[in-house]
Structure 1
C-alpha cells in the first residue's frame, strides 16, 4: 500500500508518537478489507509504539486509532489514502500524544465543551475540502472524551450514503442529525456548537483600538494587502469570514507564476502563515455587515459586523472576493446538496455510474465535464451562448469523449426532483423557443462568479454587476477606502492578479495615510 518514499516519510513522522497506540481493525473478507489490513500492518511495522488488534465494528472495513488503555481515539471507515492520508498521519500523532498546533485558547474551548457529541463525517478521497473537516473533528475527539468522530468513505459504504441521501461531501452528522455540509474549519465547528462563542468574540472585537488599515477579506488580495501594510510598520487588522477565501475551494492551481503546481488549501495555509509572520491582528470567522465611511478626511471609517461589534480604521481595503454564481431557477435551492452541486472534484465520486449535467461552457464548465466523464455514466453540458467559451484545447478534449453531449443556445429554466433528490432539468431552446427536459441525477453549476458586495450598497460606488468601482490606484469613490481582487472592476479574476491588486491597494493606503493633513487629523480626532 505504501511506496518506499511514503514509507520513509511516515516513519519520520511516527517518531513523534509519545504514547503507545492500537490500530483496532474491523475487517471482512472482501478485497478492500485485505487492503486495509495490509496498510495497518505496514504502519505498525514502522513504530514499536503501534500494535494492530482485532475489532468488531459493524462497518467493515474500518479501524480505530486508540491510545492504549484509554478511550481516546478516532475511527475511519474505509482506507484513508488520497487527500485523507494527511488526516491519517495527524490522527496517529495526536492519539499518540503529539501536541496539536491549534491555538491554546481554542484547545481550551474544545476541552471545556459540555455535552456529548457523536460525529459522523462522510468524505470522498478526491475531495480537497474534506480533510479539514475530518482533521478538525478528529482533533476534537482527542481533546475531549465526550466527543467522538468516525470518518466514512462514501464510495465504500454506498448503502449508508443512499439511505441518508448524502449527495455532497463532506457531510457531517451530529448525534444522528445533519450538522453541516461543505468545508468547515475547526474554529467554525467549535463556534457552531459553543453557543456563547459569538458573543465572546464580539466583546473582544469591541475592545480593539482603531486600525491604521483594516483589510476586509482574507483571500489572496487581502493577504497581500495585509503583508504590504504590516511591512510599513502601521497598525493592520484583517477581518475575514474565512481566511483563504475562494482559494480554499480550488483544486489544482497550475498558473501561479514560479509554482508549477499547488492546491488551493495548501496555498491558503501558506498565505495565512505569511500574514502571521507579521504583527497583524487576524479576526477570522467574522462577517462584515455595513460600511460607514468617515464624515471628513482623516476621520475613522467604521465596519459593523453581523455579531453586533464594530471596528474603526483610518483606511479600509475591501477584498471580499466572489462566490459561485447560482442559476436562480426554481428547484435550485431546494435541491442544493441533494443533486445540485458546485464542486465536481468534491462531489463527483458520489455520482459514479449516474447521469449528470454541467451548466456552463467556459473553462470551469468544460473542465468539470471532462473530469466527470471519467466517473459518471453520461454528462450533458449546457451552454447559454451559441458556442462554448472554453480554451480550444479543452473543447477538443471534451469533443473526443464518447459519453458527453453538448447543448448550446440553451436556457436552464428549472431543476426538477422528487422531494428528496434531483430527477431532471428543464431548459428552453433559445433558437426555436421549444421546451425540453432531461432525466438525470446530478447538476454541477459552473457559470462564473458574483462579487460579495451586497453589504456595500450606498457606501461605495458599485457597478450594475455589483463590482466595486476603483481607479488605477485601487481607490474607491470614498477617500481612504480602497479595494482589490475579484470583488472589483479589475478584469481577469486570477489569483496572481488579486495578489498584485492587493499589494497596490496597500501601497495606496499607506501613501494616503502619510499625506493626511495634520490639521485634518486633529479635527477628526
Structure 2
C-alpha cells in the first residue's frame, strides 16, 4: 500500500511512539476495505509498538480506531486517510502513542478541564486542504481529554450518509448529532465554542498587555514578514490575527514562490508561523480587530478587538488581507455551505455526478470549471462580461471538455433552493434582457477578492475599492500607521509581493519609531 520512500519516512516518525497502540479495524469485502487492511498492515510492520486487530464492531466500513492499549484514549477514521489527511493519520498515531500534541500548555489544560461528553464527527474530503487542521485539532483534543471522542469520515466513501445529513461542504463537524461548524477550525476556535467563558478570560489577558512598539494586525504572508522584520530590530512586537495564515490556508498549489518550485498553502502557513515563533513576537491568534483608534495625546494607537479588549502600540502595521467576493444576490447566504461554495478543491468531490455552475470567467473561474469537469456530471460557467477574461491556454482547455457549457453576458440574479439545499440558479441574459434559470445542485463562486478593511472606515484613507491607500514606504494617511499586502493599494496580489511589502512596512515603522521625540528625563528635586 505504501511505497518504499513513504515507509522509510513513516518508520522514522513512528520511532517517537512511546506507548503501545492498537489499530482496530472494521472491514467488509469492498476494495476500499482491502486497501485499508493493507495500509494498516504496512503501518504495523514499521513499529513494534503498533499492532492490528480486526473487530468489525463499527457500522462504518471501512473504518479503524487508533487506541492506546489499556486506556480509553483513541481516535477513529472512517475511510482511508491518505492525500491531505495522511499527515492527520501520522499525528494521530504519534499522539495516541504518547507523543504530546503541539498545543500551548494553558490551552491543553483548558481542554483537560472541559466537562461533559463530546462526540464529534468530521466529514472531510481527501482533496480538501482545509480539512486536516480541523481533523487534527479534534484528534489532539480527544487524546488530551477522553470525554472527547472524534471520528473523521471520508465523505466520498459514505455518500448515502453525506446525502442524508445534507453535508455539502467540507469540513463539516457534528457534535452529539447536531451541526457544530463548517470550514477550517483550529483548537482555539473549537474551544471558544465549547467553553463559553473562554472569550472573556482571553479579553482580560489581552487588556493586561503593555503597549507594543509595533503591533501587526493580520497573520498572512505580509503580517508574518512584518512581525519577523520588526522583531529582528529588537523592539517589542505583537501580532494579532483572526486566523494565522489568512488566504494562504485556502490556497492549494503554490508554484510561483521564488526558490520553492512547489508547496501548498497550509504547509506554507505552518512554516510562516514557526518562523514567527522563532522570534520574540507576542502572537495572539483567533482575535478579530473591530475598530482602530488613532493615537491621541499619549502617542499610542489603539486596536479594539471583537471581544472587547484593546491593544496599544506606538506604530501599527495593518495587514488584514482580503476575502472571497460574494455575488450579493438573494439566496446566496441562505445556501452557503448548502450548495453555494468558494472552494472547488475542497468541496468538488461532494458534487460527484451532479450538475454545478461556476460564477466567474477569470483564471480562477476557468481553472475551477476545468477541475470540476473531471468530477461532476456537468459544469456551466457563467460570466457577466461578454467574453471570458482567463488566459487563452485555459480557455482552450475549457472549451475542449465535453461536459462544460459557457454562458457569457449573464448576470446572476438569484440562487434557488428548496429550503435545505441549492436547486438552481437564475440569471439575466444581458443581450436579450430575458430572465433564465439553470437546474443544478452546486454553485462555485469565483469572482475575486474584497479587502478586509470594513473596520477601518472613517480612520485611514481608503481607495474606492476599499483598499488602504499607502505611499512608497507603506505609510497610510495617518503617521505611524502602515499597511501591507492584499488589504493595501499595492498592485498584484501575490504571496511573494505581500511578504516584501510586509518587510518594507516593518522597516518603515522602525524608521518612524527612531525619529520620534525622546521623552525628557525626570529631574531630581533636592530635599
Smaller-chain TM-score range? over 0.9
Deviating more after overlay: 327-336 vs 38-47: 38-47
Q: 1:521 to 1:153 in 2, by over 3 A?
A: farther
Matched with 2:161 is 160
Query: C-alpha displacement at 1:389, in angstroms?
Result: 1.2
In structure 2, the partner of 1:133 is 134
Mapped partners of 1:521, 1:243: distance in 2: 40
Q: Distance in 2 between matches of 1:138 and 1:412?
A: 41
Whether 1:376 aligns to 2:373 is: no
Residue 101 of structure 1 and its aligned partner are, at CA, apart by 1.9
Deviation string 1:285-323 (CA, Å, 9 cap, x unpaired) is: 011111011135x71111111111111111111001000
SS in 2 for 1:463: coil
| Partner residue in 1 for 2:5 | 5
Per the TM alignment, residue 464 of structure 1 is displaced from its structure 2 partner at its CA by 2.1
> 3-state DSSP class of the match of 1:122?
strand
- 1:342 equivalenced with 2:342 (yes/no): yes
Is 45-54 or 154-163 further displaced after alignment?
Answer: 45-54
The yes-or-no answer on 1:169 pairing with 2:170 is yes
Per-residue CA deviations over 1:338-357 (Å, capped at 9, x if unaligned) read 00000000000000011100
CA contact (8 A) 1:83 1:126 kept: yes
Q: Give the equivalent residue in structure 2 for 1:415.
A: 415
- The aligned counterpart of 2:260 is 259
Report what 1:192 is aligned to: 193
The reply to whether residue 451 of structure 1 matches residue 451 of structure 2 is: yes
**3-state SS in 1 of match to 2:170:** coil
Residues 26-65 of structure 1: pairs in structure 2 closer than 5 A: 26-55=26-55, 56-65=57-66
Deviates more, 1:502-511 or 1:168-177: 502-511
Helix, strand or coil at the partner of 1:518: coil
Does 1:502 pair with 2:502? yes
In 2, the alpha carbon distance for the partners of 1:482 and 1:505 equals 6
CA distance in 1, matches of 2:91, 2:517: 54
What is the rounded CA distance, in whole Å, between the counterparts of 2:251 and 2:486 in structure 1? 14
Aligned to 1:512: 512
The residue number in structure 1 matching 2:243 is: 242
Q: Does 1:429 align with 2:424?
A: no
Shift of 1:521: 11
Structure 1 equivalent of residue 387 of structure 2? 387
| Counterpart Cα distance in 2 of 1:278 and 1:23 | 40
Question: How many Å apart are 1:105 and its aligned residue?
Answer: 1.4
1:202 and 2:190 matched: no
Deviations 1:81-100 (A, max 9, x none): 11111111111111111122
Once the two structures are superposed, residues 237-287 of structure 1 have per-residue CA deviations (whole angstroms, 9 ceiling, x without a partner) of: 101001111111110011111111110001111111111111111111011
- Residue 500 of structure 2 aligns to a residue whose secondary structure is helix
Distance 2:456 2:100 in 1: 42
TM-score by length of 1: 0.98
Q: TM-score, normalised by structure 2?
A: 0.97
Deviations 1:19-60 (A, max 9, x none): 111111111111111111111111111122111112211111
Local SS of the residue matching 1:155:
helix
Asked whether the 8 Å contact 1:171–1:181 carries over to 2, the reply is: yes
Whether 1:110 and 2:121 are equivalent positions in the alignment is no
Aligned residues: 521
CA contact (8 A) 1:299 1:521 kept: no
* Distance of 1:258 and 1:479 partners within structure 2: 35
Matching residue of 1:269: 270
CA distance in 1, matches of 2:277, 2:146: 31
Counterpart CA distance in 1 for 2:39 and 2:305 is 48
Checking the alignment, whether the CA contact within 8 Å between 1:41 and 1:52 is kept in structure 2 is yes
Looking at structure 1, the residues matched to 222 and 257 of structure 2 have their Cα atoms a distance apart, in angstroms, of 14
Which runs of structure 1 show a deviation greater than 6 angstroms over 4 or more consecutive aligned residues? none
RMSD over aligned CA atoms reads: 1.2
Q: Secondary structure at the match of 2:167?
A: coil
| Equivalent-residue separation in structure 2 for 1:111 and 1:393 (angstroms) | 54
Counterpart in the other structure of 1:87:
88
Tell me the equivalent position of 1:474: 474
Question: Alpha-carbon deviations, 1:60-86, whole Å to 9, x = none?
Answer: 111111111211110011111111111
The 1-side partners of 2:519 and 2:91 are apart by 56
Matches within 5 A, 1:298-317: 299-317=299-317
Once the two structures are TM-superposed, the CA of residue 489 in structure 1 deviates from its matched residue by 1.0
Q: Find the counterpart in structure 1 of residue 354 from structure 2.
A: 354
Residues of 2 paired with 1:411 and 1:283: CA distance? Answer: 42
Runs (5+) with no aligned partner, structure 2: 523-527
Closer, same or farther in 2 for the Cα pair 1:521/1:385, shift >3 Å? farther
Quick check: 1:349–1:375 contact (8 Å CA) kept in 2? yes
- Pick which of 39-48 and 331-340 moved more: 39-48
**Separation in 2 of the partners of 1:473 and 1:16?**
48
